[in-house]
Amino acid sequence: MADPQSRAGARYADEKLLAWTADVHAPHDRALERAFTSPGREGMPPISVGPNEGRTLQLLLRLAGARRVIEIGTLAGYSTIWMARALPADGHLWTLERDPRHAEVARGNLEAAGLADRVTVVVGDAVEELASLEGHGPFCAVFVDADKERYDRYGAWAADNLRPGGLLIGDNAYFFGRLLGDEAGAVAMRGFHEATPATFDSVCMPTPDGLLVGIRR
């Protein structure tokens, strides 16, 4: 039986515990460390996924046998590296980034990781650029970690462009603890959640800020 306190919302994971489990299950090599620390060196926002989430993405893609993957929100390419390493030799990942400077940093990190031939960094507005990529589909996985105000639109695109059995994964699914609020990002994120069960078998995993995972029916 579950601990009653867990049902009441008690949290047991603190920073030390998360760091210890990351060291055990998701250790960094030189390429991952370079990408993870790039935001601090390059004056970019410190909003990468954590090591445990990166490893989770990698394992989910391996379980799904993913070959063609879309990432919405590149930043410095940290999550990109985790996912690209899950792909077979003939697989490919397209990652979309609005900021040209961020895209430049990500390309350098992907080159250092030996993954430049497996990843295409697409610069521009994600909604517009997604339409230009549809010819490469259907896709095996879509990972969303971008502007929260458009998560509902990204989820709808994924529903139309994923193969049966494909994965929809959305980070920050708790919207920084403000999911039930009135701001635009919260409304869009709730729409992302609420639309998912119509097309996906889904769950929101209780990572530090929630990770929505759905399997396309």
Structure token digits, residue 81: 């590296």
How remote is the C-alpha of 131 from its chain's centroid? 19
190 within 8 A of 179, measured Cβ to Cβ: yes
pLDDT in tens, 92-149: 999 999 999 999 999 999 999 999 999 999 999 999 999 999 999 999 999 999 999 9
* pLDDT computed for residue 10 by the predictor: 45
74 within 8 A of 101, measured Cβ to Cβ: no
pTM score of the predicted model: 0.94
* Amino acid identity, position 103: A
Strands 68-72 and 92-97: parallel
Q: Which domains does the chain show, CATH number per domain?
A: 14-216 (3.40.50.150)
Structure token digits, residue 214: 């759905």
d(CA 28, CA 37): 11
In this prediction, residues 59-71 reach a mean pLDDT of 98
Q: Which helix (H) or strand (E) holds 82?
A: helix 78-84
* Amino acid identity, position 160: D
**How many other β-carbons are positioned within 10 Å of the β-carbon of residue 8?**
7
